[in-house]
Amino acid sequence: MNSLVDTVRATVDRHRLLPELEPVVAMVSGGADSTALLRLLASGQLGELQLSVLHVNHLLRGEDADADEAFVESLCSELGVAYRGVRVDVGVWASAEGLNLEDAGRQVRYRIAGEELDARLAAAGLPPDAGVICTAHTLDDRIETFFMRALSGSGTGALASIKYRRDRIARPLLDAERAAITAYLRELGQAWREDVTNEDTERYRAAVRHGLIPAAEQVNPAFRPVLRRTLAVLADDDEVLAGLAAAHARTLASASSDRSVEFDRAGLARLPRALARRAIRQTIVEAFPSASRLESLHIDSIVDGLGDDHYARDLPGGLRAFGEYDKLVVLRTGERPPAVAPSLLPVPGEADLGDAGTILAESVEPGDVSGTPDSVVIDADSVSFLTVDGVREGDRMRPLGLAGSRKLSDMLTDAKVPRRLRRAMPVVRDGESIVWLAGVRMSERNRVTPSTRRALRLTWKRD
């Protein structure tokens, strides 16, 4: 028993995983690993903690899942630990999001755990960066994950396997072997729940656990400590490279909420391939958590496509990557921004365009003609009744500084506005006359002249 406690305490101290006197939310399924985690945290041997338990019933295993839930609640009551149980139909959610059950379950659990920790912090009057969420991943999980990623094709970052700390997630058992955990529970006389699906070798992890790892132990009985040292080296290397890649990603990539990621193709192409790979992967996974299973062949394809104007490829998680002018774009398959919501534009005042943002009209001095594609100054007396909508078929205007009229579609092409985004470009109109193609150019007819007495600034505040 002491051996496991000493191992876990050393891990906690070395990686500073458990902040004393702060909320700790333990995710407990009822299996041996999470039951041992709960017993260790509740014992006080890992520090004085504000401990609470979260159990998520995925509603996938019928009566067995209900029995797991009842077991965890009963154990928490016995130990005097605050408990919260949540039921989520993960099967329905996975179908709606186009995810496999494992990914869907993981996303649901971590989302709920984050909400639970936020609530605990708020109740304690602590800042949002305090406290942790504890999971019961073990050394066995780390080894299994290494083999699974090695077989599917992964870079060194993925091969480093599970991390001791990732954002708010802490893993105190990551140096503990499953055999030591079950021995600890037996010595305590503590029961646990068995998930029979863990024995189903039709599942990838179970096949690795019951087939590949025993074979590795036959080849080298000491392979566990050897691989543990290798994983530590990989993790150290990964931390350095990840920091360098993140610095490049901040300057070479941008994300738009959860809809798209854009990369500077030329900038990424100038990076060493190892850094380009990492910058791309880190940015995509951060924007699209469902892309966590991107394999090295997908990332290599994107890197190879940086110099190809016509590059396009579907990716796991319902994503698509393609070249677009000087950018490489990754977005959800079929994703298109909504069209501009038609609106009146009061003067002065603001028009709410929904997801396209807002257009602001405000009076300014006639001498203030400074501007950008997103902010222009017009002669207020040249307009009478302003509205905002999107580009219509056949729209034309005379752009500022030009002698003749041009199609708005041609102006958008010249401005390198992608076709997928054009429906979200606002057009300010005065009746049937176009005043401004927001983000591109205003009309010559509405320019400020020396005789202008009143001026109006129009500003597009993008979403």
Rounded to an integer, what distance in angstroms lies between the CA atom of residue 71 and that of residue 63? 12
Q: List, in sequence order, every beta strand (DSSP E) within 135-190.
A: 165-166, 169-170
What per-residue confidence (pLDDT) applies to 419?
84
Given a contact cutoff of 8 angstroms between Cβ atoms, the answer to whether 135 and 165 are in contact is no
Q: What is the pLDDT of residue 210?
A: 84
User: pLDDT tens digits for 188-241?
Assistant: 999 999 877 666 666 778 888 888 889 988 999 988 888 888 888 888 888 888
Residue among 8, 78, 69, 70 nearest 36 (CA): 8
Mean pLDDT over the full length of the chain: 89
Looking at residue 161, its pLDDT comes to: 79
Return d(Cα 284, Cα 200) in angstroms, integer.
Answer: 32
End-to-end CA, the chain: 56
For residue 316, what are its two tokens?
Answer: 């796991």
Angle, helices 223-252/273-287, rounded to nearest 10 degrees: 80
CA distance 22 to 257: 31
DSSP string, 188-227: HT------GGGG-TTSHHHHIIIIIHHHHHHH-TTHHHHH
How confident is the model over 404-419, as pLDDT tens digits? 999 999 999 999 888 8
**Cis ω on the peptide bond leading into residue 225 (within 30° of 0)?**
no
Residues 306, 294: contact at Cβ < 8 Å? no
Show the domains of the chain with their CATH numbers: 2-219 (3.40.50.620), 248-332 (3.30.465.60), 343-461 (3.50.40.10)
- Measured between alpha carbons, how far is 149 from 143 in angstroms, rounded to an integer? 10
Neighbouring C-beta atoms of residue 61, cutoff 10 Å: 14
| Amino acid type, 460 | W
pLDDT in tens, 32-76: 999 999 999 999 999 899 999 999 999 888 888 999 999 999 999
Cβ pair 112, 56 in contact under 8 A: yes
The pTM (predicted TM-score) of the whole model is 0.65
Give 76-109 as a DSSP string.
HHHHT-EEEEEE--HHHHHHHHT--HHHHHHHHH
CB 55 within 8 A of CB 29: yes
User: Where is 408: in which H helix or E strand?
Assistant: helix 408-414
Percentage with pLDDT > 90 across the chain:
55
CA–CA gap between residue 420 and residue 335 (Å, rounded): 9
> What would the two tokens of residue 241 be?
């490279």
Instruction: Give the distance from CA 33 to its chain's centroid.
Output: 27
Neighbouring C-beta atoms of residue 186, cutoff 10 Å: 13
- How far, in Å, CA of 442 to CA of 426, rounded? 12
User: With contact defined as beta carbons under 8 Å apart, do 400 and 348 qualify?
Assistant: no
